[in-house]
Amino acid sequence: GAVVSQHPSWVICKSGTSVKIECRSLDFQATTMFWYRQFPKQSLMLMATSNEGSKATYEQGVEKDKFLINHASLTLSTLTVTSAHPEDSSFYICSAHLGNTQYFGPGTRLTVL
């Protein structure tokens, strides 16, 4: 149980385009989901907290107009990277909160050319 999936697992896009990443809790409902970013050889950095039915809460320094988060249902949160640039290339990971624990997705590798 407590499985979280992400789609796509990897994506390559051109600079200036937008990319949407989906995060789904497969066997449970999650009122709260979280989005992280991880650069090579670095730790995970929390980007935002996504609450179903309300606006996401962004961490300091994360541009909310660039990283659009929608938590439309109790099993789906999406992260859209708008007008992507090469510096946005990273590993994006989501997690879903269940009980006392966060369960993480497998991650999405974004490469912006």
Partner 1 sequence: DAKTTQPPSMDCAEGRAANLPCNHSTISGNEYVYWYRQIHSQGPQYIIHGLKNNETNEMASLIITEDRKSSTLILPHATLRDTAVYYCIVRVAGNQFYFGTGTSLTVIP
How many Å apart are CA 43 and CA 111, to the nearest integer?
18
The gap from C-alpha 83 to its chain's centroid, in whole angstroms, comes to 16
Examine residue 11 and tell whether it contacts partner 1 (CB under 8 A): no
As a whole number of angstroms, the distance between CA 22 and CA 9 comes to 10
Residue 50 or 75: which CB sits closer to partner 1? Answer: 50
46-105 residues in contact with partner 1 (CB under 8 A) are 46, 49, 91, 93, 95, 97, 100-105
For partner 1 (CB under 8 A), the number of binding residues is 23
Q: Which is nearer to partner 1, 26 or 46 (CB)?
A: 46
- Please identify, using beta-carbon distances, which residue of 70 and 102 lies nearer to partner 1: 102
Q: How far is the CB of 79 from partner 1 (least distance, A)?
A: 14
- Closest Cα partner for 65 from 108, 32, 98, 18? 18
Q: Are 26 and 8 in contact (CB under 8 A)?
A: no
